[in-house]
Chains A and B, each alone.
Chain A
Amino acid sequence: MDKPRVAFFDFASCEGCQLQVINLEEDLLQVVGAVEVVSFREAMKGHSDDYDIAFVEGSITRHSDEERLEGIRRCAKVLVALGSCAALGGINCLKNFHDQEYVKKLVYGDKALLYETYPARPLKAVVPVDFEIPGCPINRNEFAMVVKAFLLGKKPEIPNFPVCVECKMAENICVFEKGMTCMGPVTRAGCGACCVTEGSFCWGCRGLVDDPNADSQRDVLATHGLSVQDVLGKFRLYTGFSEVAK
């Protein structure tokens, strides 16, 4: 079997997810050995439009993005949304809750007129997406797992349980016990509860599990002292797009 040809692309993002791929270090060499990377602007020169799998980072924020993404979709047999901006809309969607002229001026000042922009959205709002690897940034081991699954012809398995599971497995003391609040109870695991393990709380970067009990999570947050606005903010940070989409 020929090695699958792989290409990386990015839209509105910090390119941190592609950096995580490069950060695979030793495993990166194995990945590069198992697939043929034909396009990866952050890591190599050269480019080809002949590829099987496209990993696409970033959210779509303007009409011209749509054309480019549609082009990628036409070329790719498999299109993977890489990271929360691509998979969920991510933090770029925070601007959707403000007046678009106001945010344009805030960012571009008196040059605002020169820039095209519209409310941010995930890839799936524009083209069909075959698979999503959420995370801000992605978990590089999960990326390697997805590549392996593709090589085996298997469907990759991203956890559909909340971060609480990984916190218990890591024996973290519950964030709520420590007087903070946390999005872990409704957030998709797969990160190894890294933020809580390092002393912070879960920000919800991997998006919600398939059937989140958002009402109960809101109650829990409110019981722990958050205002309605704060609770909304917690949910909006990464999953604001789905809030509007509903």
Chain B
Amino acid sequence: MKLRLIEKSDLDLFVQNLINDYQVDGVKRKEGSFLYGSIKSPEELCLDFDCTVIPPKKYFLPPEETLFQFTSSPALQVTPVMESNPFILFGVHPYDIKAINQMDRIFARGVPDPHYLKRREAALIIGVDPTKVAPRSFWADMGAATVSEGFDLMLTDIGESFIVEIGSNKGRSLLEQHAKPRPATRNEARERVGIRSRISHICKKRGFAFPKREIPTLLEHSWKKFFWEEQASKCLSCGTCNLVCPTCYCFDVQDNIDLDLVHGERVRRWDGCLLHDFAKVATGENFRETRASRYRHRFYRKGLYLFRLLDDMACVGCGRCASACLPDIADPVNLFNKLREDEK
């Protein structure tokens, strides 16, 4: 693997050159937290964040999007709405890239989702290794400290400079045309290894007390436990754990019609399995009416159903759910460790 290097003093120029040619989005500070947003000047871009409130999934599956517009009379006419303006996502942590890689598989299987895939194709992802660990993160234990694919460039802060790993041809030309890289020396490459292992070590303070490959079996034996009712008694059913999760992708689809009752659009918006009406159908029947059944479902999704599909947990250890849950019952580390304790 050939690594490049750009001096920190040259980073602003790199970012500015990208801004000149592309829509660039990256992490910005807001009220003491971090959010992805449009970057208009290099000073706005933050690369030493610990974790954003909302994951980058919003770029591929927006909170609300129009799928198509329709006219119902004289004859039904449907015009698909596809957004695919090229853009750069600058500053994505490996665990979020892992989540995007999972989403790419989910949205491409079966009937591929053109809305997601178009946006995904239009994106150039510049990853960055974390320099800080959010209090509830456990991505190192989830095998998401580094990723080998899913990025066009990957930056690592080694002090006075950034090591740049090239992940695609697009990334290579982006770097060559917009920055002044030089090949990284062997020592500099070794520094990257050291830095990555130090930050992973800090993150490993949180994690499962048992191998995560045992989670599906653990869940298979836990369906009827009172444990779920106990945990879920505090659940506000607010869906926050779903909405901030980089691997939760459920949505609701509705038609919005204009007052002329002829023109309208079909939209989809984020949904979440913790919400009361998530499994409610047209007859009024609700297949998961109790808090406990919805709460349990989320962990079965992450640790069993999607595990079978992805051969990995649908959790990358970002810890967003844990830090956003007001009654603090959403943390996968706490939950699976307790469940395991309970089994003994």
Contacts and interface: CB of A to CB of B under 8 A. Distances in A.
A45 B6 CA distance: 73
A127 interface: no
A184 B326 CA distance: 11
A148 B244 contact: no
A165 B269 CA distance: 11
Given A185-B238, A211-B276, A176 B326 contact: yes
A210 B35 CA distance: 32
Given A169-B63, A178-B31, A213-B234, A219 B327 contact: yes
B235 interface: yes
Interface in A158-173: 160-162, 164-165, 168-171, 173
B327 A161 contact: no
B31 A213 contact: no
Contacts of B10: none
A173 B237 contact: no
* Interface footprint category on B: 35 or more
A171 B53 contact: yes
Nearest to B290: A211
Contacts, number: 103
Nearest to B239: A165
A215 B327 CA distance: 11
A165 to B, nearest CB: 5
Interface in A163-198: 164-165, 168-171, 173-174, 176-178, 184-186
Interface in A38-88: none
Contact of B237 (A145, A151, A211): A211
Contacts of A12: none
B238 A162 contact: yes
A168 B236 contact: no
A186 B244 CA distance: 18
10 contacts: A30-B260, A148-B258, A152-B257, A164-B236, A171-B54, A171-B58, A173-B32, A173-B33, A174-B53, A174-B324
